[in-house]
């Protein structure tokens, strides 16, 4: 290995976030703890929410509406979140966002108490789950632009992908641990609706505890000495200026990314339903010292998510290094391809635990392009404008993606004539997932044809 290569590997360390954590550098310690706590809580809960709603009586279309409602929040939160942080400072903003997320977990926990109260055809428990999402997603979505801007300022342009890889490695470790905790909590229970509700409430208790700890730690220990209080948000006019100022290099990426995310949004919320109800695949293991262990489909789904994230953690940093040699575009395209083809592969899979494990391991490869994708977004931005460019990019993309989950739920569950009640389309999960793959492949092809490389990686 050459001295230059050794220097490169020392400079970009995928475990740097962990080294800083254990070195107890104050700001890194506090923000890392908060990031881990809320990421773990949200990942434990969000991936099972469709199963929880189904157990409470929600239809496929209502589950799809929940996904679309989440898309609305993802689209609307990041931009004002950055404005709030600039206005009141990071410490108080993070505390407020943390409190909101923790309260959201509490609302989800209490929702089954309202299952017997109805508003028309809808259980009040389902309404509470929608309301809880408004709160629960606060910490996750409000700080998006600030995170990008910080990495943009701290990392040289040619090292952006590796910088994001280091950040993502720490955050997604919580994404690995969370589903494994969920799988363990589901293990003692069966697959009946009442079992699902009780097990998920235990998961929510854990998420609630982590939310409280994360909020307290970040408020008490975060000093924020370097916080700057910015000017007031200038309104829609400033947003329009930021959208018009988006670098030309981003436009093909935005189109391709939006199509891929729209496709994924159509089916993402239903992944758990495919494993637990459509395929109904669990796992039975015979261990020499323990005997036979039978995992329910709900518990096995947690293991599948853990496997997916383990692969993601293993490939993310090597992919970032590969981007420095081959450019950002090929690595981003790889992630797009995995996003696109996974839905049709999942819905047509045989009822085999081994096949599902292979598929979710393959799905982990979509994260390989994530650091390069982030670098491609923020890289062309002018100095000092990384947060605004990121916020504008995600706002536009997420606004277009909003109806995707509702559309997926409509195709999955079918629909009737609103005037006569006669069925118009019976519904087809396979068709919904196949259409999603088709849209994703169109987006991938568009990016491959017209996407631009970031100059620092050419």
How many whole angstroms separate alpha carbon 199 and alpha carbon 203?
A: 7
Q: Residue 244: which pLDDT band, with cuts at 50, 70 and 90?
A: confident
Whether residue 338 is contained in a domain is answered as yes
Q: Is 113 left (phi over 0), alpha (psi -120 to 50) or beta?
A: alpha
Q: Does residue 42 form part of some domain?
A: yes
Quickly state the pLDDT bin for 435 (edges 50, 70, 90). very high
What is the model's pLDDT at position 53?
96
Q: What is the reported pLDDT for 199?
A: 96
Domain tally for the chain? 1
Residues 108-125 pLDDT 10s: 999 999 998 887 778 999
19 is a domain residue: no
Q: pLDDT digit string (tens) for 312-337?
A: 888 877 887 888 788 888 989 999 99
pLDDT given at position 159: 56
Higher confidence at residue 410 or residue 24?
410
> Do the domain assignments include residue 52?
yes
Judge whether 227 lies within some domain: no
Given a cut of 50, is residue 21 above it in pLDDT? no
Q: What does the pLDDT read at residue 185? A: 95
Instruction: Express each pLDDT in 26-84 by its tens digit.
Output: 544 566 677 778 888 988 999 999 999 999 999 999 999 999 999 888 878 766 766 66
* 11 pLDDT higher than 50: no
Give this prediction's pTM: 0.84
Range of the domain at 265: 25-222+241-457
Choice between 5 and 278, residue whose per-residue pLDDT is larger: 278
Q: Report the range out of 98-102, 285-289, 301-305, 314-318 with the highest average pLDDT.
A: 301-305
We report the CATH number of the domain holding residue 278 as: 1.20.1250.20
Q: Does residue 9 belong to any structural domain of this protein?
A: no
User: What pLDDT sits at residue 440?
Assistant: 97
Residue 229 lies in a domain: no
Exposure b/e, 133-144, CB count within 10 A at least 16 = b: bbbbbbbbbbbb
Let me know if residue 71 belongs to a domain: yes
| pLDDT value for 131 | 95
Q: Are 371 and 147 within 8 A, CB to CB?
A: no
The residue that leads in pLDDT, 439 or 8, is: 439
State the chain's maximal CA–CA distance in angstroms.
Answer: 76
pLDDT of residue 174: 85
User: Residue 4: what pLDDT?
Assistant: 44
């Amino acid at each position: 290995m050459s001295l230059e290569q050794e220097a490169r590997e020392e400079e970009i360390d995928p475990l740097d976030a962990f080294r800083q954590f254990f070195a107890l550098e104050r700001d890194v310690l506090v923000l890392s703890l908060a990031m881990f706590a809320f990421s773990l809580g949200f990942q434990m809960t969000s991936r099972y929410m469709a199963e929880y709603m189904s157990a409470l009586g929600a239809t496929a279309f209502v589950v799809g509406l929940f996904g679309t409602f989440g898309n609305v929040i993802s689209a609307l939160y990041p931009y004002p979140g950055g404005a709030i942080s600039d206005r009141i400072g990071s410490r108080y903003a993070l505390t407020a966002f943390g409190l909101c997320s923790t309260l959201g977990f509490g609302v989800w926990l209490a929702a089954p108490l309202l299952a017997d109260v109805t508003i028309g055809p809808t259980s009040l428990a389902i309404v509470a789950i929608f309301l809880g999402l408004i709160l629960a997603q606060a910490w996750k979505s409000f700080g998006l632009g600030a995170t990008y801007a910080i990495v943009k300022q701290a990392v040289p342009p040619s090292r952006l992908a590796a910088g994001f890889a280091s950040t993502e490695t720490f955050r997604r470790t919580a994404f690995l641990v969370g589903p494994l905790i969920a799988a363990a909590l589901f293990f003692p229970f069966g697959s009946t609706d009442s079992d699902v509700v009780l097990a998920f409430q235990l998961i929510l208790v854990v998420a609630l505890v982590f939310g409280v700890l994360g909020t307290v730690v970040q408020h008490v220990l975060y000093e924020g000495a370097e916080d700057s209080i910015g000017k007031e948000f200038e309104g829609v006019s400033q947003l329009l200026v930021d959208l018009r100022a988006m670098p030309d290099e981003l436009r093909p990426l935005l189109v391709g990314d939006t199509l891929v995310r729209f496709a994924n949004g159509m089916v993402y919320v239903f992944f758990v339903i495919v494993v637990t109800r459509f395929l109904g695949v669990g796992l039975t293991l015979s261990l020499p010292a323990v005997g036979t262990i039978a995992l329910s489909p709900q518990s096995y789904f947690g293991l599948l998510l853990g496997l997916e994230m383990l692969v993601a953690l293993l490939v993310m940093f090597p992919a970032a290094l590969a981007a420095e040699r081959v450019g950002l575009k090929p690595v981003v395209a790889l992630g797009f391809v995995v996003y696109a083809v996974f839905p049709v592969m999942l819905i047509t899979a045989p009822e085999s635990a081994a096949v599902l494990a292979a598929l979710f391991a393959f799905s982990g490869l979509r994260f390989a392009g994530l650091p390069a994708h982030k670098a491609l977004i923020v890289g062309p931005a002018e100095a000092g404008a990384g947060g605004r460019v990121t916020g504008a990019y995600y706002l536009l993309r997420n606004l277009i993606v909003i109806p995707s989950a509702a559309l997926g739920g409509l195709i999955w569950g079918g629909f009737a004539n609103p005037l006569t009640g006669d069925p118009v389309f019976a519904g087809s999960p396979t068709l919904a997932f196949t259409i999603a793959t088709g849209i994703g492949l169109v987006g991938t092809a568009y990016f491959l044809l017209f996407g631009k490389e970031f100059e620092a990686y050419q």
